[in-house]
């Protein structure tokens, strides 16, 4: 019997949710206030939004048999750029508005920088032929330094109505962050499933040489994929900064690359590339955040979150490992002749 790829992450999520249904009071309680949805589940989605955004791009990168370690640093850079353009007079030359820039220009610049870093990663990987893990290591190391340099190592606070809406506003009853994720997911989903792009991406990851002989423009597609990944990380950085009305180059996006890679792997996309599932990655990201929220809402100390996370990683990895399944299958067969 072939088990559908989404079965394991969905099963894990369902197990966690049914635990909450019975043991955590009011976890599924959702109320509508002023046409807006409130509740733990909405909270999970809202908090998972940055990792979900990054995981969309990471899924594509991993599908090409690559990996992008720089996304956390890119988030820090993009948050720093946006905050500096809005709050620092010396950067207002860039925004064209004297004394405090407009949020729209700040976000555009932030995303521009993030996209450029992504494109640079892509060029290093495809044109220079550098291993993805090494190529993106460069900006993982340097990126946070650049962000610190932009902000002089301080937390840059800003006030902007548009950014406040982005961080804490609602759109169609849902937090804006969740809507942004939905929009990005729809756009990337349409691009990869509606056109041949998705097929090309998976082909490069499954067999780079065969896809090159088949005429797939691997170089161009890799640059595009890494650029999209950088852009999405940039959006996540702006969202995180908008949420706290400040940019903190030290903590913005710390360890996000690891959470995003974990979400992608939990969602059933193999690190070796090939077929990928955007929905699976989203389930993975929600699963990670649900664990954290469940632990918090049960009053268990935060430090246990990490240990539980470690356990989940081991269990899900084992379940997805062909060798483990063969071994476990053998045990089952031997017991029931």
Partner 1 sequence: MMERLLRVHGPIIATVAVAVVLYVLAGVLYDGFFSLRVFAGFFGDNAFLGIAAIGMTFVIISGGIDLSVGAVVGCSSILIATLVEVGEWHPLTALLVALVFGVSLGVTMGALIHAFDLPPFIVTLGGMFFARGLGFVIHQEPIALRHPFFSDLYELPARVAEPLGVLLPAPAVILLVMLAVGLYLGRWTRIGRAVYAVGGDEDSARLMGVPVGRTKIAVYGFSGLCSALAGGVYTLYTFSGNASAGTMLELDAIAAAVIGGTLLSGGVGSVLGTMLGVLIFGIIQTAIVFDGSLSSWWTRIVIGGLLLAFILIQRLLQTSLAGRGR
Smallest gap from residue 312 Cβ to partner 1 (A): 8
Find the binder of partner 1 among 52, 60, 146, 216 (CB under 8 A).
Answer: 146
Find the binder of partner 1 among 324, 329, 330, 331 (CB under 8 A).
Answer: 324
Smallest gap from residue 271 Cβ to partner 1 (A): 5
Distance CA 75, CA 233 (A): 5
Q: By CB under 8 A, tell whether 318 contacts partner 1.
A: yes
Q: By CB under 8 A, tell whether 179 contacts partner 1.
A: no
Q: ∠ CA(268), CA(273), CA(279), 5° rounding? A: 35
Q: By CB under 8 A, tell whether 129 contacts partner 1.
A: yes
Distance CA 228, CA 161 (A): 27
CB nearer partner 1, residue 24 or residue 148 = 148
Nearest to 19, CA basis, from 266, 306, 293, 279: 293
Nearest to 267, CA basis, from 77, 7, 1, 2: 7
Would you say the C-alpha torsion 126, 136, 266, 194 has a positive or negative sign? negative
Q: By CB under 8 A, tell whether 139 contacts partner 1.
A: yes
Smallest gap from residue 15 Cβ to partner 1 (A): 19
Q: By CB under 8 A, tell whether 130 contacts partner 1.
A: yes
Q: By CB under 8 A, tell whether 138 contacts partner 1.
A: yes
Q: Which residues of 181-210 are buried (b: 16+ CB within 10 A; e: fewer)?
A: bbebbeebeeebeeeebbebbbbbbbebee
Residue 53: helix, strand or coil by DSSP? helix
Distance CA 232, CA 189 (A): 14
Q: Which of residues 96-125 bind partner 1 (CB under 8 A)?
A: 124
Residue 316: helix, strand or coil by DSSP? helix
Q: Which of residues 33-72 bind partner 1 (CB under 8 A)?
A: 67
Q: Which stretch binds partner 1 (CB under 8 A): 20-28, 94-102, 213-221, 309-317?
A: 309-317
The mark string for 263-292 relative to partner 1 (x by CB under 8 A, - otherwise) is --x-----xx--------------------
DSSP state of 91: G
Smallest gap from residue 306 Cβ to partner 1 (A): 3
Using CB under 8 A, list all residues that contact partner 1.
67, 124, 128-131, 133-135, 137-146, 148-149, 152-153, 258, 261-262, 265, 271-272, 301-307, 309-311, 313-314, 317-318, 321-324
């Amino acid at each position: 019997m072939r088990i559908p790829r989404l079965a394991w992450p969905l099963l894990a999520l369902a197990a966690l949710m049914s635990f909450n249904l019975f043991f955590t009071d009011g976890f599924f309680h959702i109320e509508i206030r002023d046409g807006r949805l409130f509740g733990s589940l909405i909270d999970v989605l809202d908090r998972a939004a940055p990792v979900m955004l990054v995981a969309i791009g990471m899924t594509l990168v991993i599908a090409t048999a690559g990996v992008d370690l720089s996304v956390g640093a890119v988030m820090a850079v993009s948050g720093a750029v946006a905050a500096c353009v809005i709050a620092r007079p010396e950067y207002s030359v860039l925004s064209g508005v004297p004394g405090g820039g407009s949020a729209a220009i700040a976000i555009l610049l932030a995303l521009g920088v993030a996209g450029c870093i992504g494109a640079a990663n892509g060029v290093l990987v495809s044109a220079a032929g550098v291993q993805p893990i090494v190529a993106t290591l460069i900006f993982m190391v340097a990126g946070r330094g650049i962000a610190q340099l932009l902000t002089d190592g301080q937390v840059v606070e800003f006030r902007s109505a548009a950014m406040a809406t982005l961080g804490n506003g609602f759109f169609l009853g849902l937090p804006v962050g969740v809507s942004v994720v939905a929009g990005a997911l729809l756009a990337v989903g349409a691009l990869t499933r509606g056109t041949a792009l998705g097929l090309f991406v998976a082909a490069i990851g499954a067999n780079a040489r065969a896809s090159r002989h088949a005429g797939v423009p691997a170089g161009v597609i890799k640059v595009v994929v890494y650029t999209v990944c950088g852009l999405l990380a940039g959006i996540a950085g702006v969202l995180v900064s908008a949420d706290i009305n400040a940019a903190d180059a030290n903590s913005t996006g710390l360890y996000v690359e690891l959470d995003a890679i974990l979400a992608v792997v939990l969602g059933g996309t193999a690190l070796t590339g090939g077929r990928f599932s955007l929905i699976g990655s989203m389930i993975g990201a929600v699963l990670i955040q649900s664990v954290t929220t469940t632990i918090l809402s049960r009053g268990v100390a935060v430090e246990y979150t990490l240990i539980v996370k470690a356990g989940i990683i081991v269990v899900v990895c084992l379940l997805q490992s062909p060798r483990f399944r063969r071994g476990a299958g053998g045990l089952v067969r031997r017991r029931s002749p």
